[in-house]
């Protein structure tokens, strides 16, 4: 019959063969790398968000310009024709008033649409990225206190 004897060579398990300082150092290194990647990710998000808001702001400004252009050319090119056509049925002043009112209504619709697009692009701050950083900082603080 064979008996198993414990070895007299008492060796520590492999997981505790490293000094504790080295484990903490490795954890700090990993945390630093993860934070760096997190910051880079948040910056990429901020860039994408600002690009999107800039696109909306540009579209809104373009629509405002379009509203002005339509108001100007519409007033210049069609006013005479519309007034002349309406003057066949109404007095000249009434025809001119109706055409001018229609042009201002069209300009107003374009201006409201442009304002809506401009509001989507403002404020030009990366709100989603900022909120993501706040959540990340809170998470890191909570884990640091454990």
pLDDT, tens digit (0-9, with 9 covering 90-100), for 34-51: 888 888 888 898 888 888
pLDDT at residue 105 above 90? yes
Per the CB < 8 A criterion, the answer to whether 92 and 71 are in contact is no
pTM of the model: 0.42
**DSSP state, residue 75:** I
Mean pLDDT to the nearest integer, 125-134: 81
Separation between Cα atoms, residue 58 and residue 117, nearest integer Å? 8
- Give the Å distances, CA to CA, from 82 to 42, 101, 102, 122: 56, 12, 11, 39
| Average pLDDT score, the chain | 80
Separation between Cα atoms, residue 84 and residue 74, nearest integer Å? 15
**Closest C-alpha among 103, 99, 121 to residue 111:** 103
pLDDT at residue 10 above 60? no
Q: What is the dihedral of CA 27, 28, 33, 35, to 10 degrees?
A: 110
Main-chain phi, psi angles of 52, to 5 degrees: -65, -45
User: Please, what sign has the CA dihedral across residues 89, 95, 101, 105?
Assistant: positive
Separation between Cα atoms, residue 31 and residue 24, nearest integer Å? 10
């Amino acid at each position: 019959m064979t008996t198993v004897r414990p070895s007299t060579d008492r060796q520590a398990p492999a997981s505790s063969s490293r000094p504790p300082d080295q484990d903490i150092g490795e954890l700090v290194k990993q945390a630093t790398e993860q934070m760096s990647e997190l910051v880079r990710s948040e910056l990429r998000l901020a860039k994408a968000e600002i690009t999107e808001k800039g696109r909306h702001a540009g579209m809104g400004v373009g629509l405002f310009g379009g509203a002005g252009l339509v108001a100007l050319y519409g007033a210049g090119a069609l006013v005479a024709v519309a007034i002349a056509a309406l003057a066949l049925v109404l007095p000249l002043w009434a025809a001119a008033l109706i055409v001018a009112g229609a042009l201002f209504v069209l300009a107003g619709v374009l201006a409201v649409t442009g304002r809506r697009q401009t509001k989507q692009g403002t404020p030009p701050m990366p709100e989603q990225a900022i909120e993501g950083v706040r959540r990340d900082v809170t998470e890191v603080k909570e884990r640091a206190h454990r």
